[in-house]
Structure 1
């Protein structure tokens, strides 16, 4: 009987100790609330993708999720649909030779292969476009550490054009200002090729991109042709300053 009482007392004491430790731990956490992170940098994500590539839909989907996840942060996504898949069964209506040339440029500055889906962050690091962990880590690092050269953009529709007023404090002759017209979301029913029969969703699709030298002037006006059925709610205008030699993006901003 004595042994039984001793065992019961020991169990009770152990339970009380566990409960006390639990309460103390919770009080400690509550007394040190987590403060929100203040981001001073930015992250530009450039995805090279194609409707003809069966590995690309997961990367496209991830861009939609990241767009939603970081909607209140300076994270800018540009999806470049390349044209070198067009002869393999399906022509991507969003593709262009300029987008493919943009990827070739990065293959030189980053000493990387050309493949899809490929994603480049701030012109400095490249990953497989569906590698969520690497991409999110790169975004957090960029938001905390990158310095954002100020860019001022404003846009106005005039006739069949979109006129963009730009101004930057950067005047380095090796840097250019890239201003891009981006469609926020669209989709395609693919009828041939590797993705035959699939309904593909796309986010932040690059339609037009102009490069402006900052050597002689850091402010001015440039124009885009107005897309069919244009609605300001469905489009973004994104500007970024890039060092032409290294490929590093030094600042970014959005007009719409």
Structure 2
């Protein structure tokens, strides 16, 4: 599968829950988090978008699709693209020590990246990390407090593999996403295709800090209800501010298919 790569230089040139949140009764620790970086203007992305639709339907994964904007110059402006999504991918690029970004890229548990169109690469990486203790280490649960608040509870840190010290600090990241939608693409590399997109990220915010001890965070239910869907990621962040391993995750609201 050909990957669409985009370098720093290319970027410089190209830019010269309905009535109320539905709180899922799912496992405290999902198998993992899949973050797909994709674009409607990328000819290599439709197979990854199709695979992602299957992953988004699973109850044991938190799957989020970040539509980037750097392929818009090819003739089609991604209707779901956001500069913030592009910035998140570049932050991962720096964190991984890479020299360029590409689509379709799947970042798994904030730890590794693979071709987002490769079912084998995604499943093997998730299984390997889970076996090595690099999966979801911290419990994250979501509950409702009356009609006004959504409560997020995070557990205590656990010891890493082989007794390695556990990460003690992380951001509580809230990721909003759109309900499933089908888009008819009229220009660019996917001209004439009609594609369905799942869990397309529409906003990201940091709700607080976690310092390795069990803690509770509150979100206004009114904010959650404005969005199509919502997930929480407990993600370590380096001293340089770059994203690190995702230690825990859960859906706050996941629209039905």
| TM norm structure 2 | 0.70
Equivalences for residues 38-77 of structure 1 within 5 A: 42-68=31-57, 71-72=58-59, 74-77=60-63
1:252 to 2:252 alignment: no
Is residue 105 from structure 1 mapped to residue 98 from structure 2 by the alignment? Answer: no
Residues 153-195 of structure 1, C-alpha deviations (whole Å, 9 max, x = no match): 246998xxx9643232369774101111223421100111111
Equivalent position of 1:239 in the other structure:
232
Q: Deviations over 1:39-82 (max 9, x none)?
A: 966210000011111111110001112334xx24x211000001
Partner SS for 2:74: coil
SS in 1 for 2:53: helix
Matches within 5 A, 1:87-236: 87-112=73-98, 113-144=100-131, 145=133, 146-154=135-143, 164-169=150-155, 174-214=169-209, 218-223=215-220, 224=223, 227=226, 235-236=228-229
Do the aligned partners of residues 50 and 183 (structure 1) sit closer, same or farther apart at CA in structure 2, a change above 3 Å counting? same
Sort the Cα spacing of 1:116 and 1:166 in 2 relative to 1 into closer, same or farther, 3 A: same
Q: Which fold has the larger relative contact order, with Cα–Cα distance below 8 Å and residues 6 or more apart in sequence?
A: 2
SS state at 2:178 partner = strand
| Further displaced range: 148-157 or 44-53 | 148-157
Q: Distance in 1 between matches of 2:29 and 2:80?
A: 33
Aligned to 1:31: none
Q: 1:116 to 1:167 in 2, by over 3 A?
A: same
Q: Deviations over 1:108-164 (max 9, x none)?
A: 111222111111000111011111111111122344432431222246998xxx964
Q: Give ranges in structure 1 of 5+ residues lacking alignment.
A: 1-37
RMSD: 3.0
Q: Structure 1 residues 96 and 155, CA, compared in 2 at 3 Å: closer, same or farther?
A: farther
Where does the alignment leave 5 or more consecutive residues of structure 2 unmatched? 1-26, 158-166
The residue that corresponds to 1:26 in the other structure is none
Partner of 2:10: none
For 1:32, the equivalent position in structure 2 comes to none
Residue 85 (str. 1) matches residue 71 (str. 2): yes
Q: 1:215 to 1:149 in 2, by over 3 A?
A: closer
Aligned residues: 207
Say if 2:176 and 2:231, in contact at 8 Å, map to a contact too: yes
Q: For the residues of structure 1 that align with 2:156 and 2:229, how far apart are their CA atoms?
A: 22
